Amino acid sequence: MARAALAGVLALASGGVGYATGSSPRDADVVIPDQTIAAPPPGSVRVIYSLDKKQNDKEIIALIDAAKSRIYFAMYEFTLRDIADALVAAKKRGVEVRGLVDAGESANSYDKPIIAELTRAGIPIETEKHADGNGIMHIKAIVTDSAYALGSYNWTNSATTENDELLEIGTDPALRQTYETILKRLLDAYERNAAAQAAAPVFIGTIGYADAPSHVGEYASVRGVIADTYVSKNGTVFLDFCRDYKSCPFSGVIFADDVKKFGDLSRYTGTTVFLTGKISSYQDRAEMILSSPTQISR
């Protein structure tokens, strides 16, 4: 009796098909429903594997198009213009649209045009800014007034057509409200943080690189002699103030997407430089992320 009841629950969760009543869980024939490319009906849950149809983006757009009053989203990587266009269209028809993105990913050359399009349309996009300078915004979720979708699926072409991804789409009122509450809390918190930083950025002046760990979270010009310029396998450049970076209290970091802006960085080796910006922390060491050549002076 209990097994039959369990089979009924699992069949309902699978969209009404799949688990054969009376079969053991090991022998059960699980069938995931085909995608419908439509807003899900009330009380439904679907789990979609990306490469079955290679159209998860259309599933997300269906949710956006069906929204009547609000759309909140948080996305780690966002490069799909069709989803951006759908969000802009929702904004134009009067839907409240708010988004949250990761600081590092949103600054790269792939995500920037999408963020710019949304911002031009009047959609507020908040950027993750953890107080200690660590952590990323790794959520991939969207919540509308009637549905939610979340999973491993980033809004990128590779996640849509090449990667193994899962996307859960549902309309359970309690789950939908839970996800909305979390996203709204994050959106409001990062909005307040951004407003506070814009209103009163604290610049503490010039400090030596050895003092940087005591000023994580503050804006400063960090002074020191560059001992080495190291390029990692992924193209990130580290401006090290010590020969042994592992024991050094501070480094400058330039991500691969920004390196071309700076020209030949080896010219700084052996010279005294001033790195200006926000001091953050990574793996218990102070660092400063540099995205503009104006942040380096001699």
Domain ranges of the chain: 32-199, 203-297
Higher pLDDT, 132 or 166: 166
Q: Residue 140 has what pLDDT?
A: 98
Answer yes or no: are the C-beta atoms of 238 and 229 closer than 8 Å. yes
Quote the tokens at residue 286: 């102070």
Q: Residue 40 has what pLDDT?
A: 80
pLDDT tens by residue, 204-255: 999 999 999 999 988 999 999 999 999 999 899 999 999 998 899 999 999 9
- Look at residue 7 and tell me whether its pLDDT is greater than 50: no
- Look at residue 15 and tell me whether its pLDDT is greater than 60: no
- Look at residue 59 and tell me whether its pLDDT is greater than 90: yes
Count Cβ atoms below 10 Å from residue 155 Cβ, excluding itself: 24
- Phi, psi (rounded to 5 degrees) for 163: -90, 155
Answer yes or no: are the C-beta atoms of 221 and 252 closer than 8 Å. no
- Alpha-carbon distances of 241 from 83, 153, 175, 205, 228, rounded to whole Å: 44, 39, 49, 19, 7
pLDDT tier at 135, thresholds 50, 70, 90? confident
pTM of the predicted structure, to 2 decimals: 0.60
**Distant-in-sequence, close-in-space partners of 17: CB < 8 Å, separation ≥ 6:** 11, 31, 33
The single-letter DSSP state of residue 216 is: T
Sign of CA dihedral 271, 276, 281, 283: negative
Q: Which residue has the tokens 């218990």?
A: 284
- Look at residue 9 and tell me whether its pLDDT is greater than 60: no
Higher pLDDT, 250 or 6: 250
Answer yes or no: are the C-beta atoms of 255 and 104 closer than 8 Å. yes
Answer yes or no: are the C-beta atoms of 183 and 100 closer than 8 Å. yes
| Displacement of CA 12 from its chain's centroid (Å) | 32
Q: Residue 39 has what pLDDT?
A: 74
- Look at residue 38 and tell me whether its pLDDT is greater than 60: yes
Counting every residue written for the chain, the total comes to 298
- What single-letter amino acid sits at 14? S
- What single-letter amino acid sits at 75? M
Answer yes or no: are the C-beta atoms of 271 and 226 closer than 8 Å. yes
Answer yes or no: are the C-beta atoms of 155 and 106 closer than 8 Å. no
pLDDT tier at 98, thresholds 50, 70, 90? very high
d(C-alpha 237, C-alpha 231), whole Å? 5
The angle that helices 56-66 and 81-92 make with each other, rounded to 10 degrees, is 0
Q: Could you name the CATH architecture of 32-199?
A: 2-Layer Sandwich (3.30)
Answer yes or no: are the C-beta atoms of 64 and 179 closer than 8 Å. no
d(C-alpha 298, C-alpha 270), whole Å? 11
Paired residues of 231 in beta bridges = 237
Quote the tokens at residue 129: 């800014």
Choose which CATH entry (3.40.50.720, 3.30.930.10, 2.40.50.140, 3.30.1330.30) describes domain 203-297. Answer: 2.40.50.140
